[in-house]
Chains A and B, each alone.
Chain A
Amino acid sequence: MRRPEAPGLVNAVLAWCVVGFILAPLVIIVPMSFSASSSFEFPPPRYWLGHYRTYFSAEGWLLPTLNSFLVGIVSSLVTLLVATPAAFAVNRREFAGRRALQVLLLTPMLVPAIIMAISYYSVFGQLGLNQTYAGIVLAHSCVSIPVVLIALSASLRNLDRNLERAAAICGATPAQSFRLVTLPLLRPAFILAGFFAFIHSFDEATIALFISGREVSTLPKRMFASIHLEADPVVAVVSALMIYAAVLAMAVATFLRQRRPA
Protein backbone atom coordinates (compact mmCIF):
# COMPACT_ATOMS: atom_id res chain seq x y z
CA MET A 1 0.00 0.00 0.00
CA ARG A 2 1.24 3.48 -0.79
CA ARG A 3 1.95 6.05 1.89
CA PRO A 4 -1.22 8.04 2.52
CA GLU A 5 0.29 11.37 1.50
CA ALA A 6 1.87 10.03 -1.70
CA PRO A 7 0.12 10.91 -5.00
CA GLY A 8 -1.96 8.21 -6.66
CA LEU A 9 -1.43 6.62 -10.06
CA VAL A 10 -4.20 8.61 -11.75
CA ASN A 11 -2.67 11.81 -10.43
CA ALA A 12 0.76 10.77 -11.72
CA VAL A 13 -0.55 9.99 -15.21
CA LEU A 14 -2.47 13.28 -15.37
CA ALA A 15 0.54 15.26 -14.14
CA TRP A 16 2.90 13.77 -16.71
CA CYS A 17 0.37 14.42 -19.48
CA VAL A 18 0.20 18.08 -18.44
CA VAL A 19 4.00 18.30 -18.42
CA GLY A 20 3.95 16.80 -21.91
CA PHE A 21 1.50 19.53 -22.96
CA ILE A 22 3.81 22.16 -21.45
CA LEU A 23 6.97 20.85 -23.08
CA ALA A 24 5.76 19.54 -26.47
CA PRO A 25 5.63 22.94 -28.20
CA LEU A 26 9.15 23.73 -27.04
CA VAL A 27 10.45 20.36 -28.22
CA ILE A 28 8.89 20.81 -31.65
CA ILE A 29 10.76 24.08 -32.28
CA VAL A 30 14.22 22.51 -32.41
CA PRO A 31 13.62 20.15 -35.38
CA MET A 32 11.60 22.92 -37.05
CA SER A 33 14.65 25.18 -37.02
CA PHE A 34 16.60 22.60 -39.04
CA SER A 35 13.75 22.10 -41.50
CA ALA A 36 14.43 22.40 -45.21
CA SER A 37 10.83 23.42 -45.85
CA SER A 38 10.08 27.02 -46.64
CA SER A 39 6.83 27.01 -44.67
CA PHE A 40 5.58 25.94 -41.26
CA GLU A 41 5.56 22.18 -41.91
CA PHE A 42 5.92 19.50 -39.23
CA PRO A 43 7.49 16.98 -39.31
CA PRO A 44 9.99 18.61 -41.68
CA PRO A 45 10.52 16.85 -45.04
CA ARG A 46 14.33 17.21 -44.94
CA TYR A 47 16.87 18.76 -42.60
CA TRP A 48 19.52 21.40 -43.29
CA LEU A 49 21.15 24.45 -41.74
CA GLY A 50 19.91 26.91 -44.37
CA HIS A 51 17.61 28.91 -42.10
CA TYR A 52 20.38 29.36 -39.54
CA ARG A 53 22.57 30.71 -42.33
CA THR A 54 19.76 33.06 -43.38
CA TYR A 55 19.30 34.33 -39.84
CA PHE A 56 22.98 35.02 -39.29
CA SER A 57 23.35 36.82 -42.61
CA ALA A 58 20.10 38.77 -42.92
CA GLU A 59 20.19 42.34 -41.68
CA GLY A 60 16.42 42.15 -41.37
CA TRP A 61 16.93 39.73 -38.48
CA LEU A 62 20.28 40.76 -37.03
CA LEU A 63 19.33 44.42 -36.63
CA PRO A 64 16.17 43.68 -34.57
CA THR A 65 18.23 41.24 -32.48
CA LEU A 66 20.81 43.93 -31.78
CA ASN A 67 18.04 46.44 -31.03
CA SER A 68 16.46 44.06 -28.54
CA PHE A 69 19.77 43.56 -26.76
CA LEU A 70 20.44 47.30 -26.66
CA VAL A 71 16.96 48.21 -25.44
CA GLY A 72 17.00 45.36 -22.93
CA ILE A 73 20.37 46.31 -21.44
CA VAL A 74 19.72 50.05 -21.23
CA SER A 75 16.18 49.71 -19.92
CA SER A 76 17.21 47.18 -17.24
CA LEU A 77 19.91 49.61 -16.05
CA VAL A 78 17.42 52.48 -15.95
CA THR A 79 14.95 50.33 -14.03
CA LEU A 80 17.60 49.28 -11.51
CA LEU A 81 18.54 52.91 -10.89
CA VAL A 82 14.95 54.00 -10.43
CA ALA A 83 13.61 51.03 -8.48
CA THR A 84 16.49 50.19 -6.13
CA PRO A 85 16.02 53.13 -3.70
CA ALA A 86 12.28 52.40 -3.64
CA ALA A 87 12.96 48.73 -2.88
CA PHE A 88 14.98 49.81 0.18
CA ALA A 89 12.29 52.23 1.32
CA VAL A 90 9.42 49.79 0.86
CA ASN A 91 11.17 46.90 2.60
CA ARG A 92 13.02 48.69 5.39
CA ARG A 93 11.16 51.84 6.33
CA GLU A 94 7.83 52.28 8.00
CA PHE A 95 5.86 55.17 6.60
CA ALA A 96 2.24 56.17 6.12
CA GLY A 97 0.75 54.72 2.95
CA ARG A 98 3.47 52.11 2.54
CA ARG A 99 1.08 49.36 1.51
CA ALA A 100 -0.75 51.62 -0.96
CA LEU A 101 2.57 52.61 -2.48
CA GLN A 102 3.63 48.99 -2.75
CA VAL A 103 0.43 48.19 -4.65
CA LEU A 104 0.91 51.26 -6.86
CA LEU A 105 4.48 50.28 -7.73
CA LEU A 106 3.28 46.85 -8.82
CA THR A 107 0.47 48.04 -11.12
CA PRO A 108 2.57 48.57 -14.29
CA MET A 109 2.94 44.79 -14.41
CA LEU A 110 -0.77 44.16 -13.97
CA VAL A 111 -2.28 46.70 -16.38
CA PRO A 112 -2.78 45.02 -19.79
CA ALA A 113 0.05 45.82 -22.20
CA ILE A 114 -2.35 46.87 -24.95
CA ILE A 115 -3.59 49.78 -22.80
CA MET A 116 -0.02 50.95 -22.22
CA ALA A 117 0.77 50.38 -25.90
CA ILE A 118 -1.90 52.76 -27.20
CA SER A 119 -1.20 55.23 -24.39
CA TYR A 120 2.48 55.42 -25.27
CA TYR A 121 1.63 55.49 -28.95
CA SER A 122 -0.46 58.66 -28.60
CA VAL A 123 1.72 60.46 -26.01
CA PHE A 124 5.00 59.59 -27.70
CA GLY A 125 3.46 60.63 -31.00
CA GLN A 126 3.02 64.16 -29.64
CA LEU A 127 6.52 64.18 -28.14
CA GLY A 128 8.25 62.73 -31.20
CA LEU A 129 9.34 59.67 -29.23
CA ASN A 130 7.65 57.06 -31.42
CA GLN A 131 10.12 54.95 -33.38
CA THR A 132 13.04 56.03 -31.20
CA TYR A 133 15.26 54.04 -28.83
CA ALA A 134 14.48 56.53 -26.07
CA GLY A 135 10.76 55.84 -26.39
CA ILE A 136 11.08 52.05 -26.12
CA VAL A 137 13.59 52.30 -23.27
CA LEU A 138 11.30 54.65 -21.34
CA ALA A 139 8.30 52.35 -21.81
CA HIS A 140 10.14 49.11 -21.07
CA SER A 141 11.82 50.53 -17.96
CA CYS A 142 8.42 51.52 -16.66
CA VAL A 143 6.81 48.12 -17.04
CA SER A 144 9.81 46.34 -15.50
CA ILE A 145 9.84 48.42 -12.29
CA PRO A 146 7.60 45.80 -10.58
CA VAL A 147 9.84 42.98 -11.79
CA VAL A 148 12.93 44.57 -10.25
CA LEU A 149 11.06 45.44 -7.06
CA ILE A 150 9.88 41.86 -6.59
CA ALA A 151 13.33 40.43 -7.30
CA LEU A 152 15.11 42.87 -4.93
CA SER A 153 12.50 42.64 -2.16
CA ALA A 154 13.10 38.93 -1.62
CA SER A 155 16.85 39.41 -1.14
CA LEU A 156 16.46 42.59 0.91
CA ARG A 157 14.28 40.80 3.42
CA ASN A 158 16.66 37.85 3.67
CA LEU A 159 19.67 40.08 4.23
CA ASP A 160 21.02 39.73 7.76
CA ARG A 161 20.76 43.24 9.17
CA ASN A 162 23.14 42.35 11.99
CA LEU A 163 25.95 42.68 9.47
CA GLU A 164 25.00 46.32 8.94
CA ARG A 165 24.58 46.84 12.67
CA ALA A 166 28.06 45.39 13.17
CA ALA A 167 29.43 47.86 10.63
CA ALA A 168 27.72 50.71 12.49
CA ILE A 169 29.15 49.53 15.83
CA CYS A 170 32.61 49.46 14.25
CA GLY A 171 32.12 53.13 13.46
CA ALA A 172 30.94 53.06 9.85
CA THR A 173 28.71 55.91 8.70
CA PRO A 174 25.44 54.84 7.03
CA ALA A 175 27.01 55.63 3.66
CA GLN A 176 30.09 53.53 4.42
CA SER A 177 28.12 50.59 5.71
CA PHE A 178 25.91 50.78 2.63
CA ARG A 179 28.86 50.87 0.24
CA LEU A 180 31.06 48.33 2.03
CA VAL A 181 28.51 45.89 3.46
CA THR A 182 25.03 46.17 1.94
CA LEU A 183 25.94 46.64 -1.72
CA PRO A 184 28.45 43.75 -1.95
CA LEU A 185 26.00 41.45 -0.17
CA LEU A 186 23.26 42.40 -2.59
CA ARG A 187 25.35 42.12 -5.75
CA PRO A 188 23.82 38.74 -6.76
CA ALA A 189 20.35 40.20 -6.19
CA PHE A 190 21.13 43.17 -8.44
CA ILE A 191 22.42 40.88 -11.17
CA LEU A 192 19.33 38.69 -10.92
CA ALA A 193 16.93 41.66 -10.85
CA GLY A 194 18.69 43.26 -13.80
CA PHE A 195 18.51 39.98 -15.67
CA PHE A 196 14.76 39.65 -15.05
CA ALA A 197 14.24 43.22 -16.25
CA PHE A 198 16.30 42.45 -19.34
CA ILE A 199 14.24 39.34 -20.11
CA HIS A 200 11.04 41.30 -19.53
CA SER A 201 12.11 43.89 -22.09
CA PHE A 202 13.57 41.31 -24.48
CA ASP A 203 10.25 39.40 -24.58
CA GLU A 204 7.93 42.41 -24.65
CA ALA A 205 6.00 42.53 -27.91
CA THR A 206 2.75 44.47 -27.53
CA ILE A 207 4.17 47.91 -26.66
CA ALA A 208 7.05 47.46 -29.09
CA LEU A 209 4.57 46.63 -31.86
CA PHE A 210 3.01 50.05 -31.50
CA ILE A 211 5.89 52.37 -30.72
CA SER A 212 8.92 50.85 -32.44
CA GLY A 213 9.08 51.58 -36.13
CA ARG A 214 11.06 49.96 -38.89
CA GLU A 215 14.39 51.46 -37.80
CA VAL A 216 14.28 50.43 -34.15
CA SER A 217 12.19 47.29 -34.60
CA THR A 218 12.80 44.83 -31.77
CA LEU A 219 13.10 41.08 -32.19
CA PRO A 220 9.59 40.27 -30.88
CA LYS A 221 8.15 42.84 -33.28
CA ARG A 222 10.04 41.25 -36.16
CA MET A 223 8.90 37.78 -35.08
CA PHE A 224 5.31 38.96 -34.82
CA ALA A 225 5.44 40.31 -38.37
CA SER A 226 7.03 37.11 -39.65
CA ILE A 227 4.43 34.84 -38.10
CA HIS A 228 1.56 37.16 -39.00
CA LEU A 229 2.33 38.10 -42.56
CA GLU A 230 4.91 35.91 -44.22
CA ALA A 231 5.18 32.54 -42.37
CA ASP A 232 8.96 33.00 -42.54
CA PRO A 233 10.70 29.78 -41.39
CA VAL A 234 13.57 31.82 -39.90
CA VAL A 235 11.22 32.39 -36.92
CA ALA A 236 11.95 28.77 -36.00
CA VAL A 237 15.67 29.53 -35.84
CA VAL A 238 15.16 32.57 -33.61
CA SER A 239 12.82 30.56 -31.38
CA ALA A 240 15.28 27.66 -31.19
CA LEU A 241 18.11 30.04 -30.27
CA MET A 242 15.93 31.49 -27.51
CA ILE A 243 15.20 28.00 -26.19
CA TYR A 244 18.92 27.09 -26.17
CA ALA A 245 19.62 30.32 -24.27
CA ALA A 246 16.84 29.63 -21.75
CA VAL A 247 18.01 26.07 -21.11
CA LEU A 248 21.59 27.29 -20.73
CA ALA A 249 20.52 30.07 -18.35
CA MET A 250 18.50 27.59 -16.26
CA ALA A 251 21.48 25.22 -16.12
CA VAL A 252 23.85 28.02 -15.05
CA ALA A 253 21.36 29.23 -12.42
CA THR A 254 20.96 25.71 -11.01
CA PHE A 255 24.73 25.19 -11.00
CA LEU A 256 25.35 28.48 -9.20
CA ARG A 257 22.68 27.74 -6.61
CA GLN A 258 24.16 24.34 -5.83
CA ARG A 259 27.70 25.66 -5.62
CA ARG A 260 26.80 28.39 -3.17
CA PRO A 261 27.33 27.25 0.42
CA ALA A 262 24.10 26.96 2.37
Chain B
Amino acid sequence: MRRGLPTWLLLLPAVAYLVLVFGVPLGNTFWMSISEPTLGLQNFETILTDPLYARVYLRTVLVAGTVTLLCLALGYPLAHYMARKGGLVAGLLLGACGLCFWISYLVRTYAWTVILGNRGPVTALARWLGMEQPPVLLFTTTASLIAMTHILLPYMVLTLYVVLARIDANLIRAAHIMGASHWQAFTGVVLPLSLPAVVSGCLLVFIFCVGFYVTPTLLGSPKDMMISSLIANEIETLLDFGSASALAMVLLAAVLVLLAAYDRLVGIDRIMR
Protein backbone atom coordinates (compact mmCIF):
# COMPACT_ATOMS: atom_id res chain seq x y z
CA MET B 1 0.00 0.00 0.00
CA ARG B 2 1.18 3.51 -0.69
CA ARG B 3 2.39 5.25 2.41
CA GLY B 4 2.02 8.84 3.48
CA LEU B 5 4.64 10.72 5.41
CA PRO B 6 7.82 8.97 6.53
CA THR B 7 7.68 7.53 10.03
CA TRP B 8 10.44 9.71 11.43
CA LEU B 9 8.55 12.83 10.40
CA LEU B 10 5.43 11.64 12.20
CA LEU B 11 7.46 11.03 15.35
CA LEU B 12 9.46 14.26 15.17
CA PRO B 13 6.99 16.68 16.85
CA ALA B 14 6.31 14.47 19.87
CA VAL B 15 9.92 13.40 20.33
CA ALA B 16 11.24 16.95 19.91
CA TYR B 17 8.64 18.28 22.35
CA LEU B 18 9.47 15.55 24.84
CA VAL B 19 13.21 16.18 24.60
CA LEU B 20 12.85 19.96 25.00
CA VAL B 21 10.04 20.22 27.55
CA PHE B 22 10.56 16.96 29.45
CA GLY B 23 14.18 15.91 28.96
CA VAL B 24 15.85 19.29 29.28
CA PRO B 25 14.14 20.29 32.57
CA LEU B 26 14.88 16.87 34.06
CA GLY B 27 18.46 17.05 32.83
CA ASN B 28 18.80 20.49 34.37
CA THR B 29 17.54 19.15 37.71
CA PHE B 30 20.11 16.36 37.51
CA TRP B 31 22.82 18.92 36.73
CA MET B 32 21.75 21.05 39.70
CA SER B 33 21.85 18.03 41.99
CA ILE B 34 25.59 17.66 41.30
CA SER B 35 26.54 21.32 40.84
CA GLU B 36 24.65 23.36 43.45
CA PRO B 37 26.32 25.01 45.28
CA THR B 38 29.60 23.40 44.08
CA LEU B 39 30.38 20.61 41.67
CA GLY B 40 30.41 17.22 43.39
CA LEU B 41 28.35 14.56 45.04
CA GLN B 42 28.00 16.32 48.41
CA ASN B 43 24.22 16.76 48.00
CA PHE B 44 23.76 13.05 47.53
CA GLU B 45 26.13 12.38 50.39
CA THR B 46 23.99 14.49 52.72
CA ILE B 47 20.62 13.14 51.71
CA LEU B 48 21.75 9.53 51.63
CA THR B 49 23.58 9.49 54.97
CA ASP B 50 21.60 11.88 57.19
CA PRO B 51 19.19 9.83 59.35
CA LEU B 52 16.63 12.66 59.15
CA TYR B 53 16.30 12.05 55.42
CA ALA B 54 16.33 8.28 55.90
CA ARG B 55 13.31 8.64 58.17
CA VAL B 56 11.43 10.50 55.43
CA TYR B 57 12.18 7.75 52.87
CA LEU B 58 11.06 5.09 55.30
CA ARG B 59 7.85 6.99 56.06
CA THR B 60 7.16 7.50 52.35
CA VAL B 61 7.52 3.79 51.66
CA LEU B 62 5.40 2.87 54.70
CA VAL B 63 2.63 5.31 53.75
CA ALA B 64 2.64 4.24 50.10
CA GLY B 65 2.64 0.58 51.15
CA THR B 66 -0.25 1.10 53.54
CA VAL B 67 -2.27 2.99 50.93
CA THR B 68 -1.58 0.22 48.40
CA LEU B 69 -2.77 -2.49 50.80
CA LEU B 70 -5.86 -0.46 51.76
CA CYS B 71 -6.70 0.06 48.08
CA LEU B 72 -6.33 -3.66 47.46
CA ALA B 73 -8.40 -4.62 50.50
CA LEU B 74 -11.21 -2.24 49.52
CA GLY B 75 -10.89 -2.51 45.77
CA TYR B 76 -10.85 -6.27 45.40
CA PRO B 77 -14.29 -6.97 46.91
CA LEU B 78 -15.83 -4.18 44.83
CA ALA B 79 -14.17 -5.25 41.58
CA HIS B 80 -15.05 -8.90 42.25
CA TYR B 81 -18.68 -8.01 42.98
CA MET B 82 -19.00 -5.92 39.80
CA ALA B 83 -17.37 -8.62 37.68
CA ARG B 84 -19.54 -11.46 38.99
CA LYS B 85 -22.76 -9.45 39.22
CA GLY B 86 -22.62 -7.92 35.75
CA GLY B 87 -25.53 -6.11 34.12
CA LEU B 88 -26.99 -2.82 35.25
CA VAL B 89 -25.64 -2.98 38.81
CA ALA B 90 -22.07 -3.42 37.58
CA GLY B 91 -22.61 -0.60 35.09
CA LEU B 92 -23.80 1.74 37.84
CA LEU B 93 -20.94 0.86 40.18
CA LEU B 94 -18.46 1.23 37.35
CA GLY B 95 -19.98 4.64 36.66
CA ALA B 96 -19.47 5.61 40.31
CA CYS B 97 -15.78 4.70 40.05
CA GLY B 98 -15.46 6.39 36.68
CA LEU B 99 -17.02 9.58 38.05
CA CYS B 100 -14.05 9.91 40.40
CA PHE B 101 -11.66 10.23 37.45
CA TRP B 102 -13.64 13.24 36.29
CA ILE B 103 -13.50 15.00 39.63
CA SER B 104 -10.36 16.82 40.62
CA TYR B 105 -8.37 15.25 43.44
CA LEU B 106 -8.33 18.69 45.05
CA VAL B 107 -12.11 18.51 45.35
CA ARG B 108 -11.83 15.11 47.02
CA THR B 109 -9.03 16.32 49.28
CA TYR B 110 -11.20 19.26 50.29
CA ALA B 111 -14.10 16.90 51.07
CA TRP B 112 -11.87 14.99 53.46
CA THR B 113 -10.81 18.19 55.27
CA VAL B 114 -14.52 18.69 55.97
CA ILE B 115 -15.26 15.09 56.95
CA LEU B 116 -12.24 14.74 59.22
CA GLY B 117 -12.17 18.30 60.50
CA ASN B 118 -12.95 19.15 64.13
CA ARG B 119 -16.39 20.47 63.12
CA GLY B 120 -17.10 17.58 60.78
CA PRO B 121 -19.35 14.52 60.91
CA VAL B 122 -16.74 12.12 62.30
CA THR B 123 -16.10 14.30 65.33
CA ALA B 124 -19.84 14.85 65.75
CA LEU B 125 -20.41 11.10 65.68
CA ALA B 126 -17.66 10.54 68.25
CA ARG B 127 -19.25 13.15 70.54
CA TRP B 128 -22.69 11.60 70.05
CA LEU B 129 -21.26 8.23 71.02
CA GLY B 130 -20.18 9.83 74.27
CA MET B 131 -16.50 10.38 73.59
CA GLU B 132 -15.28 13.28 75.74
CA GLN B 133 -12.21 13.95 73.65
CA PRO B 134 -12.98 13.10 70.03
CA PRO B 135 -9.87 11.89 68.18
CA VAL B 136 -8.00 14.56 66.25
CA LEU B 137 -7.87 13.34 62.65
CA LEU B 138 -7.16 16.32 60.44
CA PHE B 139 -3.47 17.12 59.91
CA THR B 140 -2.40 13.62 60.86
CA THR B 141 -0.92 10.81 58.78
CA THR B 142 -4.21 8.93 59.23
CA ALA B 143 -6.06 11.70 57.40
CA SER B 144 -3.69 11.68 54.44
CA LEU B 145 -3.80 7.84 54.37
CA ILE B 146 -7.60 7.87 54.15
CA ALA B 147 -7.72 10.57 51.47
CA MET B 148 -4.95 9.05 49.33
CA THR B 149 -6.67 5.66 49.53
CA HIS B 150 -9.89 7.32 48.40
CA ILE B 151 -8.18 9.09 45.50
CA LEU B 152 -6.21 6.06 44.25
CA LEU B 153 -8.91 3.44 44.84
CA PRO B 154 -10.58 3.86 41.40
CA TYR B 155 -7.29 2.98 39.65
CA MET B 156 -7.11 -0.25 41.63
CA VAL B 157 -10.79 -1.11 41.09
CA LEU B 158 -10.66 -0.60 37.34
CA THR B 159 -7.37 -2.51 36.95
CA LEU B 160 -8.81 -5.46 38.88
CA TYR B 161 -12.23 -5.28 37.23
CA VAL B 162 -10.89 -5.54 33.68
CA VAL B 163 -9.22 -8.86 34.50
CA LEU B 164 -11.88 -10.24 36.86
CA ALA B 165 -14.66 -9.59 34.35
CA ARG B 166 -12.78 -11.58 31.71
CA ILE B 167 -12.60 -14.75 33.84
CA ASP B 168 -14.86 -17.33 32.22
CA ALA B 169 -17.84 -18.08 34.49
CA ASN B 170 -17.70 -21.68 33.22
CA LEU B 171 -14.44 -22.17 35.13
CA ILE B 172 -16.23 -21.29 38.37
CA ARG B 173 -19.17 -23.54 37.47
CA ALA B 174 -16.74 -26.35 36.71
CA ALA B 175 -15.13 -25.92 40.12
CA HIS B 176 -18.56 -26.23 41.72
CA ILE B 177 -19.44 -29.33 39.77
CA MET B 178 -16.22 -30.86 41.06
CA GLY B 179 -17.50 -30.17 44.57
CA ALA B 180 -15.73 -26.91 45.46
CA SER B 181 -17.44 -24.55 47.90
CA HIS B 182 -17.86 -20.86 46.99
CA TRP B 183 -14.76 -20.02 48.99
CA GLN B 184 -12.74 -22.86 47.47
CA ALA B 185 -13.79 -21.83 43.96
CA PHE B 186 -12.66 -18.32 44.78
CA THR B 187 -9.28 -19.21 46.26
CA GLY B 188 -8.63 -22.02 43.77
CA VAL B 189 -9.80 -20.43 40.52
CA VAL B 190 -10.63 -16.71 40.64
CA LEU B 191 -7.84 -15.49 42.91
CA PRO B 192 -4.94 -17.15 41.04
CA LEU B 193 -6.31 -15.94 37.70
CA SER B 194 -6.55 -12.38 39.01
CA LEU B 195 -3.04 -12.25 40.52
CA PRO B 196 -1.48 -10.42 37.52
CA ALA B 197 -4.08 -7.68 37.95
CA VAL B 198 -3.35 -7.53 41.69
CA VAL B 199 0.36 -7.04 40.99
CA SER B 200 -0.32 -4.45 38.30
CA GLY B 201 -2.86 -2.52 40.39
CA CYS B 202 -0.60 -2.51 43.45
CA LEU B 203 2.43 -1.28 41.51
CA LEU B 204 0.38 1.45 39.84
CA VAL B 205 -1.08 2.70 43.14
CA PHE B 206 2.32 2.52 44.85
CA ILE B 207 4.00 4.48 42.04
CA PHE B 208 1.34 7.18 42.16
CA CYS B 209 1.47 7.30 45.94
CA VAL B 210 5.24 7.73 46.52
CA GLY B 211 5.17 10.98 44.57
CA PHE B 212 1.92 12.37 45.97
CA TYR B 213 2.30 15.99 46.99
CA VAL B 214 -0.96 17.94 47.25
CA THR B 215 -3.03 15.65 49.46
CA PRO B 216 -0.38 14.87 52.12
CA THR B 217 0.49 18.57 52.27
CA LEU B 218 -3.12 19.61 52.84
CA LEU B 219 -4.22 16.81 55.16
CA GLY B 220 -1.09 15.36 56.72
CA SER B 221 0.99 16.42 59.66
CA PRO B 222 3.88 18.76 58.82
CA LYS B 223 6.00 16.66 61.18
CA ASP B 224 5.35 13.49 59.17
CA MET B 225 6.57 14.72 55.80
CA MET B 226 6.74 12.48 52.77
CA ILE B 227 9.53 12.87 50.22
CA SER B 228 7.55 15.14 47.89
CA SER B 229 6.74 17.58 50.69
CA LEU B 230 10.40 17.52 51.69
CA ILE B 231 11.43 18.41 48.11
CA ALA B 232 8.96 21.30 48.05
CA ASN B 233 10.11 22.40 51.49
CA GLU B 234 13.79 22.51 50.48
CA ILE B 235 12.88 24.88 47.66
CA GLU B 236 10.14 26.99 49.20
CA THR B 237 11.55 27.67 52.63
CA LEU B 238 15.26 26.83 52.42
CA LEU B 239 15.86 27.83 48.76
CA ASP B 240 18.23 24.86 48.66
CA PHE B 241 18.00 23.87 45.00
CA GLY B 242 20.89 21.43 45.30
CA SER B 243 19.34 19.22 47.98
CA ALA B 244 15.88 19.49 46.42
CA SER B 245 17.24 18.39 43.04
CA ALA B 246 19.19 15.52 44.60
CA LEU B 247 16.06 14.38 46.47
CA ALA B 248 14.07 14.61 43.24
CA MET B 249 16.68 12.43 41.54
CA VAL B 250 16.43 9.85 44.33
CA LEU B 251 12.64 9.80 43.97
CA LEU B 252 12.98 9.59 40.18
CA ALA B 253 15.39 6.67 40.48
CA ALA B 254 13.00 4.86 42.82
CA VAL B 255 10.05 5.43 40.47
CA LEU B 256 12.09 4.30 37.45
CA VAL B 257 13.02 1.07 39.25
CA LEU B 258 9.34 0.48 40.03
CA LEU B 259 8.39 1.30 36.44
CA ALA B 260 10.99 -1.14 35.17
CA ALA B 261 9.46 -3.80 37.42
CA TYR B 262 6.02 -2.87 36.09
CA ASP B 263 7.33 -3.08 32.54
CA ARG B 264 8.83 -6.54 33.16
CA LEU B 265 5.70 -7.88 34.86
CA VAL B 266 2.90 -6.13 32.97
CA GLY B 267 4.39 -4.10 30.13
CA ILE B 268 4.08 -0.32 30.18
CA ASP B 269 2.95 -0.28 26.56
CA ARG B 270 -0.08 -2.30 27.68
CA ILE B 271 -1.40 0.92 29.26
CA MET B 272 -2.07 2.06 25.69
CA ARG B 273 -4.32 -0.88 25.03
**A206 contacts which chain B residues (CB < 8 A)?**
213-214
A114-B213, A115-B29 are known contacts; what are 15 more A-B pairs with Cβ within 8 Å?
A: A6-B85, A25-B150, A28-B114, A88-B10, A106-B271, A112-B255, A118-B29, A118-B248, A119-B29, A123-B25, A154-B273, A223-B110, A239-B107, A247-B99, A250-B99
On whether A42 and B81 interact (CB within 8 A), knowing A86-B15, A141-B21, A174-B3, the answer reads no
In the complex, whether A175 has a CB less than 8 A from a CB of chain B is yes
In the complex, 25 of the A-B residue pairs with CB atoms within 8 angstroms, ordered by the A residue number, are A8-B182, A14-B81, A18-B75, A29-B111, A40-B119, A81-B13, A85-B14, A88-B10, A102-B272, A103-B268, A110-B268, A112-B252, A112-B255, A114-B251, A118-B231, A123-B25, A145-B14, A153-B272, A173-B2, A199-B102, A223-B106, A224-B214, A228-B218, A249-B102, A250-B98
Q: Which of B112, B175, B212, B241 has a CB less than 8 Å from the CB of A4?
A: B175
In the complex, whether B176 has a CB less than 8 A from a CB of chain A is yes
Task: Provide the main secondary structure of the chain B interface.
Answer: helix
**B3 contacts which chain A residues (CB < 8 A)?**
174
Comparing A52-60, A93-101, A184-192, the segment that makes contact with chain B is A93-101
Q: Which of B15, B95, B107, B207 has a CB less than 8 Å from the CB of A242?
A: B107
On whether A105 and B99 interact (CB within 8 A), knowing A40-B117, A120-B25, A138-B21, the answer reads no
A86 near B13 with CB under 8 A, answer: yes
Distance between A41 CB and nearest chain B CB, rounded to angstroms: 4
State the CA gap A7–B77 with chains docked (Å): 10
Q: Which of B11, B106, B121, B235 has a CB less than 8 Å from the CB of A86?
A: B11
Interface string of B1-17 (1 = CB under 8 A from A): 11111010111111101
Interface string of B164-198 (1 = CB under 8 A from A): 00000100110110000010010000000000000
Interface string of B206-236 (1 = CB under 8 A from A): 0100111110011000000000100110010
Chain B CB within 10 A, most for which of A81, A90, A119, A173: A119
Distance between B154 CB and nearest chain A CB, rounded to angstroms: 7
Closest 3 CB pairs of A and B: A112-B211, A25-B111, A15-B81
Distance between B7 CB and nearest chain A CB, rounded to angstroms: 5
A119 near B114 with CB under 8 A, answer: no
State the CA gap A206–B214 with chains docked (Å): 7
A145 near B32 with CB under 8 A, answer: no
Interface residue ranges of A139-173 to B (CB < 8 Å): 139, 141-142, 145, 149-150, 153-154, 165, 168, 173
Chain B CB within 10 A, most for which of A18, A41, A43, A178: A18
Number of interface residues of A (CB under 8 A): 96
Interface string of B246-273 (1 = CB under 8 A from A): 0010011001000100010000110111
**A122 contacts which chain B residues (CB < 8 A)?**
25, 28-29, 32, 241, 245
State the CA gap A187–B18 with chains docked (Å): 25
Distance between B159 CB and nearest chain A CB, rounded to angstroms: 14
**A262 contacts which chain B residues (CB < 8 A)?**
none
A110 near B259 with CB under 8 A, answer: yes
State the CA gap A223–B111 with chains docked (Å): 12
**A86 contacts which chain B residues (CB < 8 A)?**
10-11, 13-15
Interface residue ranges of A100-140 to B (CB < 8 Å): 101-108, 110-123, 138-139
**A238 contacts which chain B residues (CB < 8 A)?**
107
A95 near B7 with CB under 8 A, answer: yes
- Which residue of chain A is the closest to B19 with respect to CB atoms? A104
Task: Provide the main secondary structure of the chain A interface.
Answer: helix
On whether A145 and B17 interact (CB within 8 A), knowing A14-B81, A115-B252, A220-B106, the answer reads yes
A85 near B11 with CB under 8 A, answer: yes
B248 near A18 with CB under 8 A, answer: no
**B106 contacts which chain A residues (CB < 8 A)?**
203, 205, 220, 223-224, 227, 239
On whether A42 and B119 interact (CB within 8 A), knowing A106-B271, A174-B4, the answer reads yes
Interface string of B99-120 (1 = CB under 8 A from A): 1101111111111111101011
**B109 contacts which chain A residues (CB < 8 A)?**
227
A7 near B84 with CB under 8 A, answer: yes
B110 near A115 with CB under 8 A, answer: no
In the complex, whether A49 has a CB less than 8 A from a CB of chain B is no
Chain A CB within 10 A, most for which of B96, B103, B153: B103
In the complex, whether B145 has a CB less than 8 A from a CB of chain A is no
A119 near B82 with CB under 8 A, answer: no
B235 near A118 with CB under 8 A, answer: yes
